[in-house]
Amino acid sequence: RQRQMCIRDREVTAMTGIPRDPVMLLSYINTQLRDFYPSLEELCSALSLDRETLDETLSSIDYFYDRDKNQYL
């Protein structure tokens, strides 16, 4: 019998490879901020992300951007 997996957990946006699941998105964004971008504004610009949509998505799991730490906490 074949195991079924939840496709939602692995969904990514078709063009960018950015996760749609909020928890996976949180991990992805914080890693990008830590490793490549000095600010959320630069990340959003480079990846063509809408800051408001990103904030809304991550606030739905109670994470908010901390400018001083450059991370969602």
Rg (CA), the chain: 13
The predicted pLDDT at position 68 comes to 98
Question: For residue range 2-47, what is the model confidence (pLDDT) as tens digits?
Answer: 444 444 444 444 446 899 999 999 999 999 999 999 999 999 999 9
Report yes or no: 35 and 27 within 8 Å, Cβ to Cβ: no
The predicted pLDDT at position 17 comes to 84
Question: For residue range 54-71, what is the model confidence (pLDDT) as tens digits?
Answer: 999 999 999 999 999 999
CA 25 to chain centre: 3
Q: Specify the pTM.
A: 0.78
Query: What is the sign, positive or negative, of the torsion defined by CA atoms of 63, 24, 67, 53?
Result: negative
